[in-house]
C-alpha cells in the first residue's frame, strides 16, 4: 500500500478544506494517509475555531458568496469531512504538540476527529520518512 504524508500549516478555511479533500481522495484511492496540522492550521483544530469559515486574502470581497457555496455543497463543517475521509480509507490525523503550545491550546479543547498529538519529529519518523509522497498545504 502506498503512503502519503500531508502537512497542513496554513489556517485559512479554504486551505484546510483543500487539504482535507486531498486526504479524502488519497484514502479513497487505497492509500494510507497521515495528515499533520501544525502552526496556524493546528490553532484552528479546536472545537471553537474549526467552525469559523475564515478565508485567505485571495477571497477578499467574495467571502460571503464562497461561504454560501460551501454550505450548499455540504463542505462547511471540517470535522465531518475529516470523519468521511476516515470512513473511506486508512487515515490518521494528528496535530503538532509544539504548535498547541505556541497558541496556548489545551488538548481537551481539540476536535475529536484528531487521532493524536505528536511532535514534528515523531511525525517525521512515523509518516514522512516512509511516505511515497509528501504534500504540504
> At a CB cut-off of 8 Å and minimum separation 6, what does 49 contact?
43
Q: Can you count the helices (H) and strands (E) in the chain?
A: 6, 5
At residue 130, the pLDDT reads 97
Give 9-63 pLDDT, tens digit per residue: 999 998 999 999 999 999 999 999 999 999 999 999 999 999 888 877 888 888 8
Domain count, the chain: 1
> Could you report the per-residue pLDDT of 53-94, keeping only the tens digit for each?
887 788 888 888 888 888 898 888 899 999 999 999 999 999
The pTM is what?
A: 0.91
Task: Read off the CATH number of the domain in which 43 is found.
Answer: 3.40.1260.10
User: At 52, phi and psi to the nearest 5?
Assistant: -75, 125
Can you tell me whether residue 128 is helix, strand or coil?
helix
Which domain, by its residues, includes 88? 3-136
Q: Round to whole Å and give the CA distance between 45 and 60.
A: 23
What are 115-130's pLDDT values in tens digits? Answer: 999 999 999 999 999 9
CA distance 58 to 46: 24
Amino acid at each position: 500500500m502506498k503512503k502519503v504524508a500531508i502537512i497542513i500549516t496554513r489556517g485559512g478555511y479554504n486551505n484546510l478544506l483543500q487539504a482535507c479533500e486531498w486526504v479524502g481522495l488519497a484514502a479513497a484511492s487505497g492509500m494510507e494517509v497521515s495528515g499533520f496540522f501544525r502552526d496556524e492550521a493546528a490553532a484552528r483544530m479546536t472545537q471553537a475555531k474549526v467552525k469559523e469559515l475564515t478565508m485567505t486574502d485571495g477571497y477578499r470581497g467574495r467571502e460571503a458568496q464562497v461561504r454560501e457555496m460551501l454550505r450548499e455543497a455540504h463542505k462547511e463543517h471540517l470535522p465531518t469531512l475529516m470523519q468521511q475521509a476516515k470512513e473511506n480509507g486508512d487515515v490518521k490525523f494528528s496535530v503538532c504538540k509544539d504548535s498547541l503550545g505556541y497558541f496556548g491550546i489545551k488538548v481537551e479543547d481539540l476536535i475529536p476527529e484528531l487521532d493524536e498529538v505528536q511532535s514534528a519529529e515523531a511525525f517525521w519518523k512515523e509518516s514522512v520518512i516512509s511516505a511515497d509522497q509528501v504534500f504540504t498545504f
